[in-house]
Amino acid sequence: MSEITNRDAPFCLQEDCPRYEECPRRKARGCRNCPIEVTSGRVRRVLQWSTLSSERKELILMVVAAVTLAAGGLANSLGWNGVAIVAYTLTYLSGGWYGALNGLQSLRERKLDVDLLMVLAALGAAVVGAPFEGGMLLFLFSLSNVLQNHALSRSRSAIRSLMKLRPTEVRCEVDGETRMIGLDDVTVGTVVRLRPGDRVALDGEVLEGESSIDESSLSGESMPVFKTEGNDIFAGTINQHGSLSYRVTKPAGQSTLDRIITLVEEAQEEKAQTQRFLERAEGYYAGFVILFTLGLILVPPLFWAAEFSSSFYRAMTILVVASPCALVISTPAAFWAAIAGAARRGVLFKGGVHLEQLASVDTVALDKTGTLTTGQPVVTNVFLNSTSISPDRGRQQTNWKLLQMAASVEAHSEHPIARAIEKSAMDEGCDLQPIEGFQSHPGKGAEASVAGARILVGSPSLFRDRGGVLNDKQRAAIDELLSEGKTVVLVAEIAPDGPLHRLLGWIAVADQIREDATAMVGQLRRLGIRRIVMLTGDNTRVAQQVARQAGIDEVAAELLPEAKLEKIKELSEQGVVAMVGDGVNDVPALARAHVGIAMGAAGTDVAMETADVVLMSSRLSHLVHAFALARKSRVVVTQNLSFALGVILVLASVALFGHMPLPLGVVGHEGSTVLVCLNGLRLLGFKTN
């Protein structure tokens, strides 16, 4: 059949459609326009059993089992034995269809599972003349599966809601005209127009206009973010007030929103350690239950002259109530809900294993720049000899000239401090001068020729390395700035023959601590984090000042990336460590820690790939939410496991040493399974106090 591209067809092609692989647009998640089987602008779809999802098929079979079970019971009470047999047969076929298929598949893989136990128990009930009880078992087992699927689909719906954040068409400028173009046809470099209220379809860079963008769907941040020329915008966010033009930087399928969806889908497949243990134990447990049941069937009649039918009935009851359905589902139900709920709040866990491990963390290592501080340093003072002046107190020609020379050199560097000096110069109205012979000193500074003079701009250590000497007065002034938590950049002139000629002055730069840093540290301590360490490449005095403001007692300063990695290794030998950084400069440390957490990672590829937990926003409250959710998840899983195990022990004890009707055992067993699912589902709406 030729490809149809009618984009007005109101049909969403699902992955369970038998023609899913044929769909040329299947990679566009959440596509509501089916390009297959469109005739005269209307979708032609024949309802066939093969086109239904497995969940819907199981729902239909469950309803059939309920109706035929009721009909069989009524026919039996009226003495219509033939009708009852037919009705019960249909009940067994519809109620046990999926259980039998799954059980046979497990046997082919040489495994034993819960589905096989349920089918055997139902067949056993029919053998001893209790077909109604066996049919009720299969009906309730099917009903339980339907309810489980419905409960767990709530967590999957959180992912589907992310898919709906992306429009299917965008307003593009093509050959001087504005056209609506399908998402899949938009290429990198295309210019897209956004009107107020429009949802951003693809990642891009603003070319023209300014507006506030609601990024809460990605970052969980309720306050809109102002965007203007040069700023990045992300798919799934909403333009609020102004009009914008932006250039597409990533095609459909590779945007930040797409990566989030992919991460969460993969995370829900990543199994936690507890879940893997229970799945491994399920086969051994099922084998034990079957052997124990056989013992109950054979031993009492052979050795104590008990009635075979009574022993068989008791054994079937034990087989039902001892099945570990609730145990097996208790962990994934909680973790799936937690991961999906966290994603809606801008916190991405890459798997249940990381959620589980974060709950055990007792040591948190925090990078200073960009985590505890804003990562956007500003110039606070400009010094010339012994004269100090702040930029906001007016302009002195000498200080203005010093700032101009420093900014002219630093304009060619990408370091945050260099950006701060350049910005301060621009704000003061300095015109940057052309330079020659630029030379970078990584981690220390840079030098270049400005207006015929060779200028060095860098740290005190670089100044000393080049032979510079500070007098007591200069050293005291710089020490005072360092004690205030500021970074000092020296500006010096280099003589033509190489050594330093003279010190022109110095510039004080400070990175502002985040407003919520102190509250975050206190909240982490209340959550049970016993050790909080700040790691930084900055000098010790600056680091200690920031740590005091944040309430952190332990500081490791002047660390290069290699030393930071060694510090994480040292901490990991003493406890379970979570490393929190920006995901770019801290990649080795993030990878080495038990749990790596990347802050403010929207649009950052390296953070998405390296970290175990990704915080889309830079708000430290999201870090607290991640820890609180992990600990709450552990509590819920413990509740589920304790409840499921308790129900099994109580029901099995009553069935073994007393008398329990098979229908009551079935209700207790299936009811416990549904309850642990619902308890885990509470994590979808978890909020940090």
- The alpha-carbon radius of gyration of the chain (Å, integer) is 33
DSSP-assigned states of every residue in 423-442: HHHHHTTPPPPPEEEEEEET
Number of CB atoms found within 10 A of residue 277's CB: 12
Tell me if residue 367 is catalytic.
yes
CA angle 392, 396, 400 (to 5 degrees): 85
Distance CA 231, CA 229 (A): 6
Element (H, E) at 261: helix 256-269
Give the SS3 label for residue 334.
helix
C-alpha pair distances (Å), 248 with each of 206, 361, 665 = 9, 40, 60
Q: What is the 3-state secondary structure (H, E, C) of 522-542?
A: HHHHHCCCCEEEEECCCCHHH
**CA proximity to 221, closest of 237, 242, 202:** 237
Catalytic residue among 367, 511, 586, 612: 367
Bridge partners (DSSP) listed for residue 171: 180
Beta-strand ranges (E) seen in 152-227 are 169-174, 177-182, 191-194, 204-209, 211-214, 225-227
The angle at the Cα of 326, spanning 323 to 332, to the nearest 5 degrees, equals 130
Quick one: how far is CA 49 from the chain centroid?
A: 36
Q: Residue 334: CA atoms inside 13 Å, Cβ hemisphere, count?
A: 28
Bridge partners (DSSP) of residue 174 are: 177
Residues with catalytic annotation? 367
